[in-house]
Amino acid sequence: MSKKALRKSNIREILQSKARFFSILLIILLGVCFYAGIKATGPDMIHTADTYYKDQQLMDSKVVSPIGLENKELELVKENKQVKQAEGSYTIDATEKTENTVIRLMSYDQKQQLNQPRLLEGKLPEKTGEIALDNRAKELKKYKIGDKITIQTTEDKLTTENYEVVGLINSPMYIDQVSRGNTNVGKGSVDIFGIVPTTDFNLDVFTELYVTYKNTEKLESYSKTYEKRVKTNQKELKKQLDSSQKERVKTLYQDGKAQIQEGKEQLETGRNQLTNAKQQIETAKKELSTQSEQVTTAEKMRQPVPQEMKEALKTSEKSLAEQEEKLNSEEKTLQSKQTDLEKKEDEVDSLQDIKYVYQDRNVNPAYTEYKDNADRISSIATVFPVFFFMIAALICLTTMTRMVDEKRGEIGTLKALGYSNFEIAQKFIVYAVLASVIGSLLGLVIGFNVFPSVIYNAYGSLYNLPPVIITYYPSYSIQSLVVALLCTVLSSMIVLRVDLLSTPSVLMRPKAPKPGKRILLEKIPFIWSRFNFNQKVTARNLFRYKQRMLMTVLGIAGCMAMIITGFGLKDSIGDIVDIQFSKIWHYDATVVYNPDATEEETNKYEKERDALTVYESHLVLSQKTVEVLNDGYKKQEVVVDTPKETKNLHDFITFKDRASGKLYSLDDSGVIINEKLGKLYGLKEGDSLKIKGSGEDEKEVKISHIVENYAMHFIYMTPKFYEQTFGEKPKYNVDLLTFKDKLSQQEEEKLAEQLMNTKKAINVSFTSQIGKAMDDTMGSLNIVVWVLIVSAAMLAFIVLYNLTNINISERIRELSTIKVLGFYNKEVTMYVYRENNILTVLGILLGCVLGKLLHGFVLQTAEVDMMMFPPDIHGISYLYSALLTILFSLIVMFFMHRRLIKVDMIEALKSTE
């Protein structure tokens, strides 16, 4: 045989064993598709968002101040050597009259470069009275292009209140579909945003300054380098504006003090005038009283009194009464002025504490949440695809082993004809390489295009970003190809090595069948004697082909484990909202107090709250944010909750050990922390925890209990323990409310507005809304889970088909023999499938154990610091996974039964001759 003939033989091998070739190709395709697709999804999400931010020139930093920012400060910012672009902007929160909607209005100028809106419909505002609204306005079915709206603001901050909707937009500052932030206007949360011409704002100073930097221009958003440079730049910006800030605060303080002094002087003058007027009235009263007495005496003595004198007395009395009424009114005015002056004095005194705030993009929760979602996908991508490839490698090894065994005679013949080992190995190398390369290329094309699109679109209901940008990553492509080649080429070379070292005479003889051996069950007559013939054959065959048994069990177990993990992730994700917002937190609303509220405003709030028809009970809390410190660990922000009363705390929050279900109560012996915080720092009950509040010294607290919690970090302590820890009494700034009935969204908005009008409440948030937002996020992650389940199910089907196909191919002579002996077609099929069924059951049982372990590992990998997933898998998920595996086994059985019917018994029995 020439080399040309050998090449023809190699090509012919593929054509003659198409089923085997395509089974390897499909396994590689599925493995590569899954690996490359899942790996690319996280980076594609980040790249798409980063491109959008760059196209719309989203700010890197924002400077805000309670006293606004002047134009000279804008110019000062522009002088910074790292600043690429800086713009002043105006933002106010207002209400729309007809729909009672809270709108965040932002200034827009056609010349502006930063935070450019993305026009979806209509046009951008060009002149006074035109407004472009958030696209959410259309989704809420409140406004459309052409509508007339009336906007109400305090202190006439706009030059007009009548607007026409001319366009619908998105903004890079608000990438999510729902949240638009909190406010102290209306019901406490912003419904939509809108942009109006800059000239429509009646403000003396900018409300914020937006900045981009030169040294971040080419960096990818969310990268560590980007975050680090922004922080460094903000420190430089702060240094630059510090002197300006101090100068402005000093000037405003002095001006304020001067105005207050002037007001006090005017008030004192007014009081003096009032006192003089009172004295004059008193004198006039005495004179009038004397005259009145004279008239009375004269009348008693029946002396004539002129009528003019009587009328003059009445007129004087009336005039005096009017003057007294006027003085009382003026006195009330002076008292009101004094109250205003005292408030003004407090405001001026608070100016000394004012500092400019420097914020980066992370101040927007949606910006960071998007990164968290991309990270979750990337975390899953570090675990699942590896496991996927392990199963694929296992099946490829089994398939290539079978191929080498089939070609023993041909290998021996070629060795006898003088072909070198390398030339003989070419057939298997070419076979494996072609299957791997074709499968890899198809897998890369499908994976890079399908997985990112499907998963990214799943988040479409959460974010208003442009379509995903598909990127082909060379690193993932090379990794996929290398692993695919290792799975096939390396496995075939390992198996082939033994045959290539054998002599032609040994290879050209059929491989001796494995000798029959007594199995353990045969040594237990009580059991063995009760087996019929078919059962005994099945038992012997199972233990006779141990390698095949092991491969089948491991293959099925691996696929079963991945399906269970997929369903388990679905359970864990789906359970978070229900457990957190129903079984752990029992309150319905959270009211944040205004620290500057007067006693009158506080009383009004309490009266309004208690008068609510749905109101049931309340719990006043002190909430304080601290940092948890521990050497070698990342800092975590934690909320310290201190209830004013602990006796009814269990009606609002349940403290429970997740594993044992044991309930705890809060006492003065220590604090209660959430489970995830304990895991992050390796803490247990009885340990100490170091915490540090803003501008405070480090404190150490003892942990009494660690309890179940899935969202955010909390430390709970009693008022007494708080005072011992911080050296001061807690400042109660939050009120938790429970309602008798569930409220609709409209009812919640109305209730929030009622409480906000008391001036005591500056924000009202509802547990139902937080839960819904969280549910939406978790729901999007469910799509990812279904992708995992479907992919794992497809692999399970291919694995079962491949292993069954190999099993039948290896035993075709044995099956032909029993067919010749008179076995019916169904009996022949069951001869094989009794073994398969047992191995499938064993694989399912092992897969349940592996699935639980893999699920736990994936959860730990996919979790972010601020969240924990419930680790339990529902029993129904195990059942679904098992039924899927059994279903695939039955489908494979159907196809193999058809194949066994068509077996040429004579050809099979003489195949070794």
Confidence (pLDDT) at 478: 92
Going by C-alpha positions, the residue among 568, 507, 519 that lies closest to residue 546 is 519
**Do 86 and 229 share a domain, yes or no?**
yes
DSSP code per residue over 829-891? HHHHHHHHHHHHHHHHHHHHHHHHHHHHHHHHHH--TTB-------HHHHHHHHHHHHHHHHH
Q: What would the pLDDT profile of 432-468 be if each residue is shown by its tens digit?
A: 888 889 999 999 999 999 989 988 887 777 788 899 9
Confidence (pLDDT) at 569: 84
Confidence (pLDDT) at 181: 78
Q: 305 pLDDT band (50/70/90 cuts)? A: low
Mean pLDDT estimate for the chain: 84
The answer as to whether 546 is a domain residue is: no
Going by C-alpha positions, the residue among 623, 557, 558, 637 that lies closest to residue 590 is 623
Q: What would the pLDDT profile of 172-210 be if each residue is shown by its tens digit?
A: 999 888 778 777 777 667 888 999 999 999 888 999 999
The answer as to whether 610 is a domain residue is: yes
CA distance 471 to 535: 55
**Do 176 and 311 share a domain, yes or no?**
no
The answer as to whether 183 is a domain residue is: yes
The answer as to whether 535 is a domain residue is: no
Confidence (pLDDT) at 516: 63
CA distance 766 to 187: 11
**Do 169 and 290 share a domain, yes or no?**
no
Q: What is the mean pLDDT of residues 486-515?
A: 77
Domain limit, last residue, from 719, 752, 772: 772
Burial label, 544 (beta-carbon count in 10 A; 0-12, 13-18, 19+): middle
**Do 72 and 205 share a domain, yes or no?**
yes
Q: What is the dihedral of CA 298, 299, 304, 305, to 10 degrees?
A: 80
Domain limit, last residue, from 358, 388, 416: 358
Q: Is the separation of the CB atoms in 807 and 548 below 8 Å?
A: yes
Q: What is the mean pLDDT of residues 824-845?
A: 82
Q: Count structural domains, the chain.
A: 3
Query: How far out from the chain centre does Cα 295 lie?
Result: 90
The DSSP element (H or E) to which 416 belongs, if any, is: helix 408-416
**Do 294 and 208 share a domain, yes or no?**
no
Confidence (pLDDT) at 904: 62
Q: Is the per-residue pLDDT at 620 higher than 90? A: yes
**Do 599 and 742 share a domain, yes or no?**
yes
Q: Is the per-residue pLDDT at 541 higher than 80? A: no
Q: Is the per-residue pLDDT at 642 higher than 70? A: yes
Q: What is the largest CA-CA distance in the chain?
A: 164
Residue numbers of the domain that contains 762:
577-772
| Lowest-confidence region among 510-524, 556-570, 681-695 | 510-524
CA distance 749 to 726: 37
Q: Is the per-residue pLDDT at 726 higher than 60? A: yes
| 56 compared with 2, residue with greater pLDDT | 56
The answer as to whether 752 is a domain residue is: yes
Q: Is the separation of the CB atoms in 440 and 486 below 8 Å?
A: no
Confidence (pLDDT) at 368: 85
Q: What is the mean pLDDT of residues 36-53?
A: 92
**Do 334 and 205 share a domain, yes or no?**
no
CA distance 569 to 585: 23
Express as a percent the part of the chain with pLDDT over 70. Answer: 95
Confidence (pLDDT) at 718: 93
The answer as to whether 253 is a domain residue is: yes
Q: Is the per-residue pLDDT at 887 higher than 80? A: yes
Report the SS3 class of residue 588: coil
Q: Is the per-residue pLDDT at 211 higher than 90? A: yes
Confidence (pLDDT) at 911: 53
**Do 237 and 263 share a domain, yes or no?**
no
Confidence (pLDDT) at 876: 93
Q: Is the per-residue pLDDT at 862 higher than 80? A: no
Domain limit, last residue, from 741, 772, 803: 772
Q: What is the mean pLDDT of residues 712-725?
A: 92
Q: What would the pLDDT profile of 490-500 be if each residue is shown by its tens digit?
A: 878 887 887 77
**Do 727 and 666 share a domain, yes or no?**
yes
| Lowest-confidence region among 304-308, 329-333, 797-801 | 304-308
The answer as to whether 777 is a domain residue is: no
| 83-89, strands of its sheet edge to edge | 83-89, 206-213, 61-69, 357-360
The answer as to whether 600 is a domain residue is: yes
Q: What would the pLDDT profile of 691-716 be if each residue is shown by its tens digit?
A: 888 778 888 899 999 999 988 889 99
**Do 231 and 342 share a domain, yes or no?**
no
The partner residues of 730 in beta bridges, in order of sequence, read: none
Confidence (pLDDT) at 907: 58
Q: Is the per-residue pLDDT at 775 higher than 90? A: no
CA distance 133 to 96: 12
CA distance 76 to 83: 10
**Do 190 and 254 share a domain, yes or no?**
no
**Do 199 and 274 share a domain, yes or no?**
no
